[in-house]
Amino acid sequence: MTAYRLFLLPLLLVCGQIFSQPKSLQALKAIQPPHIDGKLDDIAWQQAPVATGFIQKFPQVGQPATEKTEVRILYDNSAIYIGAMLYDDPSNIRRQLTARDEEQQSDADYFSVFFDTYNDHQNGFQFLVTS
């Protein structure tokens, strides 16, 4: 009976991940562009849906993010706007000058966004900001 339980639990966890729906966030069309000032207190940002519950890519792939993060996406006829509130403790933010395009460096924190414009889950465009 114990062996059966040990087999069943991992099986249920794997099945839950396989059949879970991928997360998505519907971008809101902005009536007027948000004020770009590093704050998300503009009325346009406040009306946008909020994405939460992010996971890590590094150092522990697939694990829940260690810090709270909120992302909002707006668009209009000329631009896409991404607002992110990253609730890291400033004293814990890893920051080190690295060479350009060194995404895999583990000595700096970064926030990135991918656009899967081909909808093939393989090709896309990445925008990345480091600390």
Given the structure tokens 């899967």, which residue do they identify? 116
Does an H or E element contain 86, and which? strand 80-86
Q: Is residue 11 part of a domain?
A: no
64 phi and psi, to 5 degrees?
A: -60, 145
Reported as a single tens digit per residue, the pLDDT across 71-108 is 999 999 999 999 999 888 877 777 666 665 555 555 66
Model's pTM, two decimal places?
0.71
Domain tally for the chain?
1
- What is the average pLDDT score of the chain? 79
| Higher-scoring residue by pLDDT: 64, 19 | 64
Instruction: For residue 80, give its domain range.
Output: 23-130
Q: Is residue 119 part of a domain?
A: yes
Asked if residue 16 belongs to a domain, the reply is no
Identify the H or E element spanning 126.
Answer: strand 125-130
- Whether residue 121 is contained in a domain is answered as yes
3-7, 44-48, 54-58: least confident range: 3-7
